[in-house]
C-alpha cells in the first residue's frame, strides 16, 4: 500500500477513535510502520483538519522529514515499533476510564477473560514520566514486553497490533475493561480475578483467531 493510502487510513482511524469516545481533542496519536521508519500523526492538529500530506515520516534514527512536526510522543512510537517487529501499528489515547485506572497506578487484572486480548493475565501500567521524553518511551517499551497494550500512569493507554483496525479494536476493549474494573473497585478491592490457568486457556483459544472471533 502506498504512503497516501496508509496516511488516509491513519486519519480515518483517528476520526473513528474520537467518534468512539476514546480520545479528546488532539491528545491521541497513531503510527504505522513504513519503509525504514514510520508514518505518524503530526503534533497539535485536529483530526478533522488532517490530510494525507500532514502525516509525518520519521526514520529509524528519529529524524522527521523536513518541514513537518511529528507528534510529541514520536519517541515511544518509534521505540515500540523497533521492539516489536511483529507489530505494525502503535495507537495512543487518553480514554477516560483507562486513564482513571492509570491515575491510580493500577494494572487491570484478570477480572474478565478478555484481559487476555492484551496478551497476558493483566493489562500493565507503565510508571509515570513526562510526555515526549525518552524516560516515558523506556517505561512503555518495558511495560509492553509480552503484552499488546499498557496503561501509562497519569496519562492514558497504548495499544499495538498488526493493523490499524486491530489496534483500535483493542483500545476499545481496554477501555471497556477499565470501565468494568472501576465499577467493581468500590464494591470489592481487590477485585475477584480469574486464575492464571484460566487465562492461559483463553490465550490458547485466542491463538490464530481473527479480530472478531476473540469472544
Q: Which positions are catalytic? A: 73
From its phi and psi, is residue 129 left (phi > 0), alpha (psi between -120 and 50) or beta? beta
Is the dihedral angle over the CA atoms 77, 78, 83, 87 positive or is it negative?
A: positive
What residue has cell string 490465550?
203
Closest-CA residue to 134 (of 208, 80, 95): 80
Distance CA 134, CA 105 (A): 20
Amino acid at each position: 500500500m502506498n504512503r497516501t493510502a496508509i496516511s488516509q487510513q491513519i486519519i480515518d482511524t483517528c476520526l473513528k477513535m474520537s467518534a468512539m469516545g476514546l480520545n479528546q481533542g488532539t491528545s491521541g496519536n497513531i503510527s504505522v510502520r513504513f519503509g525504514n521508519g514510520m508514518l505518524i500523526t503530526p503534533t497539535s492538529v485536529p483530526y478533522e483538519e488532517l490530510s494525507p500530506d500532514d502525516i509525518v515520516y520519521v526514520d529509524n534514527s528519529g529524524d522527521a522529514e523536513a518541514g513537518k512536526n511529528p507528534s510529541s510522543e514520536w519517541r515511544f512510537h518509534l521505540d515500540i515499533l523497533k521492539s516489536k517487529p511483529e507489530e505494525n501499528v502503535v495507537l495512543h489515547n487518553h480514554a477516560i476510564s483507562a486513564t482513571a485506572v492509570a491515575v491510580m497506578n493500577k494494572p487491570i487484572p484478570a477480572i474478565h477473560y478478555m484481559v487476555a486480548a492484551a496478551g497476558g493475565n493483566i493489562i500493565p501500567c507503565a510508571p509515570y514520566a513526562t510526555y515526549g521524553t525518552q524516560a516515558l518511551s523506556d517505561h512503555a517499551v518495558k511495560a509492553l514486553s509480552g503484552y499488546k497494550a499498557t496503561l501509562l500512569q497519569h496519562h492514558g493507554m497504548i495499544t499495538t497490533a498488526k493493523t490499524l483496525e486491530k489496534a483500535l479494536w483493542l483500545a476499545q476493549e481496554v477501555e471497556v475493561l477499565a470501565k468494568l474494573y472501576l465499577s467493581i473497585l468500590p464494591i470489592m478491592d481487590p477485585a475477584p480475578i480469574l486464575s492464571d490457568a484460566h487465562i492461559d486457556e483463553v490465550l490458547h483459544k485466542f491463538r490464530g483467531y481473527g479480530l472478531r472471533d476473540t469472544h
